[in-house]
Amino acid sequence: MSWDVPLLGVVPDESYLARPSLIDLEKIFKTKLLAGFENRRQPHYSIKHTHLAATDLHVFLEKLECAPPNPLVVTHCTRDDIVLGFLAHARNSKERGHSFGGAMVLTGLDLRPMDYVEELLKIHDIPVIVSNLSTFDTMDRIRSYTPKLHKEDEVRVRLAVSHYEPHIDFDTLLRPTDNSS
């Protein structure tokens, strides 16, 4: 069966486009970053590499050491040990000349990290956002979110254009159609 419709393109999947950025996380949780504003537009975090830190500090740091680039870590805001371990790992990576790129989502109903912890995160500009939801609901929102293209996310827009452009026949797409039938 032929539909007599020209094929405009076949576009392979690009998983990076489905990864939320910090801007997306701000939208999900209706809040702003606590720290890490330099990284607001990038990197983008893989949903399948989002880690729930509910273990002891030693196990958390071992997992973080083996984590893929740009890990997104979710933990309760009362876990100062995990937050400080995350901060230390980020600083050590930077001192070794590696780009860590990780971010943290702190959870807790109307809670915030201790003042001294919040101050350290701001001093070292570590990307952290606070969710006023439970840890379970926070993880659920992150995993069920589908990122969209928006003008604030210049990294995703540039990637989408460079990914889609070679696979679409724009000449056919923009050609006037014959509406005589």
- The Cα 101–Cα 167 span in angstroms is 30
Domain range 16-146, CATH class? alpha beta
Q: Output 136-141 pairs: Cβ under 8 A, ≥24 positions apart.
A: 138/29, 138/74, 138/105, 138/107, 139/50, 139/52, 139/74, 141/28, 141/29
User: What pLDDT does 43 receive?
Assistant: 66
User: What pLDDT does 92 receive?
Assistant: 93
User: What pLDDT does 156 receive?
Assistant: 80
- The Cα 155–Cα 168 span in angstroms is 20
Q: pLDDT per position in the chain (181 positions), as tens?
A: 677 777 777 776 777 777 888 889 999 999 999 999 887 776 688 888 899 999 999 999 999 999 888 899 999 999 999 999 999 999 999 899 888 889 999 999 888 888 999 999 999 989 999 999 999 999 999 999 988 887 877 888 888 888 888 888 888 778 877 665 5
CB contact at 8 A, 101 and 70:
yes
User: What pLDDT does 181 receive?
Assistant: 53
- The Cα 71–Cα 49 span in angstroms is 6
User: What pLDDT does 135 receive?
Assistant: 95
* Domains in the chain: boundaries: 16-146
